[in-house]
Amino acid sequence: MERCLFLLCGQEEAVSYYTKLESKLKEEYRKEKEKVNTKPLGMAFVTFQNEFVLSLFLSLARRILKDFNACHCQGCKCRHEPKSSQFSESLHIYNWSVSYAPDPQNVRW
């Protein structure tokens, strides 16, 4: 009768082990990717190509921020209606809260 010493029983080749592990992880990734596409997070980042483009749109960005931000009226939040477009209703912009993005170091990427 053979004895199993030092947990040497049931070993498999590294290539085989990591090939199976890779397949398993790829399947988990595929499932998570499907979930991500069906569950909106309710947030978005707007980025600009470079500083020049940013400078062109900075005043527009400030106007958008001002347009969407809530004001505080004696302790209660009241909002004016943001400017609408043909997409306003389908995008539910009346539920949006707009703010400047946090510092990149404070974002979990």
Q: What is the pLDDT of residues 72-97, one digit of tens each?
A: 444 455 555 666 777 777 777 767 76
Residue 64 lies in a domain: yes
Q: Check pLDDT > 50 for residue 26.
A: yes
Please list, residue by residue across 48-59, b when 16 or more beta carbons sit within 10 angstroms of its beta carbon and e when fewer do. Answer: eeeeeeeeeeee
State percent of the chain over pLDDT 90: 15
58 and 33 part of one domain: no
Residue 70 lies in a domain: yes
Indicate the residue type of 91: L
Question: What is the arithmetic mean of pLDDT over 15-24?
Answer: 94
- Domain interval for residue 69: 51-101
What sign has the CA pseudo-torsion 46, 50, 102, 99? negative
Q: How far apart are CA 47 and CA 101, in angstroms?
A: 10
* Domains of the chain: total: 2
Map tokens 């940013």 to a residue: 54
Q: Check pLDDT > 50 for residue 35.
A: yes
Residue 85 lies in a domain: yes
75 and 55 part of one domain: yes
34 and 66 part of one domain: no
User: Where in the chain does DSSP place strands (E)?
Assistant: 71-73, 76-78
